[in-house]
Amino acid sequence: MRSWLIAGVAAASLLAGVALAQGLKPGDVGYPYGDLKEITLQGRMVDLAGEMAKKYGARTTGAGPEKQWGFSTPKGELYTFLDNEAYRKLIAGKPAEGGVEVQVRLIPRSHLIEVKSFKPIPASAIHQAFYCAVCNIRTEDWGPCECCGKEMEPVSDAK
């Protein structure tokens, strides 16, 4: 029902991608920054300290009063945010609830994202399914298999 909106976002991304550096310097609007891409991602917000401790035994202190949020896509790809104004707006609500679509700049050679805009999407749009072929276990969450520790593989028949 809002596909025209998504199409508009995609078109805008393409236009930004073909902009050429004609007398532009880094920092100028429209400067292309080589391989830096502007992309749209759908997924959900994840509490990095909690999820990394639970899934990988990471020892994070959570030193500040605020949670550090990451972004997980239906294929289990994990992204981390640059702390900017749009990110602050994104986490100001109830970030753990439901799905979200973010329009971001993806920093080359990383999964570090700079949020430009975002909007909520239905949780059904970001349904996740993962499978461990060793143990024949299916889950709806990414990470290491609870049985053998092998990283779960995303499966495409998610519905």
- Among residues 19 and 134, whose Cβ is nearest to Zn ion? 134
The angle at the Cα of 37, spanning 42 to 33, to the nearest 5 degrees, equals: 155
Binding of Zn ion at residue 125 (CB under 5 A)?
no
The amino acid that residue 53 corresponds to is A
The H-or-E segment that residue 114 falls in is strand 112-121
Which CB, 31 or 131, lies closer to Zn ion? 131
For position 144 contacting Zn ion by CB under 5 A, the verdict is no
Q: CB-side exposure of 87: number of CA atoms within 13 Å?
A: 19
Q: By CB under 5 A, is residue 152 in contact with Zn ion?
A: no
Residues from 59 through 118 that contact Zn ion (CB under 5 A): none
5, 148, 155, 158: residue in contact with Zn ion (rule CB under 5 A)? 148
Distance CA 96, CA 98 (A): 7
Q: Give the binding-site size for Zn ion (rule: CB under 5 A).
A: 7
Instruction: Please give the Cα distance from 143 to 10 (Å, whole number).
Output: 30
Closest to Zn ion by CB, 39 vs 148, is 148
Q: In the complex, what is the shortest distance from the CB of residue 4 to Zn ion, in angstroms, rounded to a whole number?
A: 43
Q: Does 145 bind Zn ion (CB under 5 A)?
A: yes
| Closest to 119 in 3D by CA, of 98, 141, 145, 149 | 98
Binding of Zn ion at residue 132 (CB under 5 A)?
yes
Q: Name residues whose C-beta falls within 8 Å of residue 18's C-beta, 6 or more positions apart in sequence.
A: none
Taking CB under 5 A as the criterion, the residue among 5, 19, 147, 155 binding Zn ion is 147
Question: Which residues of this chain interact with Zn ion, rule CB under 5 A?
Answer: 132, 134-135, 145, 147-148, 150
